[in-house]
Amino acid sequence: MENTLVAVGYDNDPNTKVSFREIKNAAIYELSDDNIQQIDNRTLPDVAAYPVPDGGGCAGRNDEYVNAIADVLHDCEYLLLKEVGAYPSRVLLRRGIQTLEQEGDIESLLIKIQQYLKARR
C-alpha cells in the first residue's frame, strides 16, 4: 500500500471528533503497511472569513469555505468526521478527498482504514 494521508477533524480537543460545521483543526495521519503516525496538525479556515451573501446558510453549503478546507487538506485522501453533510462531501470528493462519517476511538478507526487499504491492493 502506498502511504495515505488521513485528516481527522476536531474543534479544540484532538480527541473529540466533530461534525463538519464544528471543524476547526485537523490532525493529519500517515498510514503505511505497518505504521500509523501523526505527522501534522493543521488549523482550518474560519467560516466567519467566508460570509455568504444573504448572511445566513450553513457552513456545509458555503462553496468558498468548503473549497478553502479542501485547499488546506489537498494532500489527504480521507477526512474523518463524526458527521458531514452530502454537499460538502460532494465538493470534497471532487477535490479528491473522501469523507468518512465515523464515531469511536481514533486509533481503532485508523487501523480499520489501514486494513481496508491493505485489502484493496
Band of pLDDT at residue 58, cut at 50, 70 and 90: low
CA count, 13 A, side-chain hemisphere, 30? 8
**Tens digits of residue pLDDT in 7-21:** 999 998 887 778 888
Q: How confident is the model at residue 26 (pLDDT cuts 50, 70, 90)?
A: very high
CA–CA gap between residue 65 and residue 62 (Å, rounded): 5
Convert the pLDDT of each residue in 86-115 to its tens digit. 999 999 999 999 999 988 889 999 999 999
pLDDT of amino acid 59: 67
pTM of the prediction?
0.90
**Domain residues of the chain, as ranges?**
4-120
CATH placement of domain 4-120: 3.30.420.130
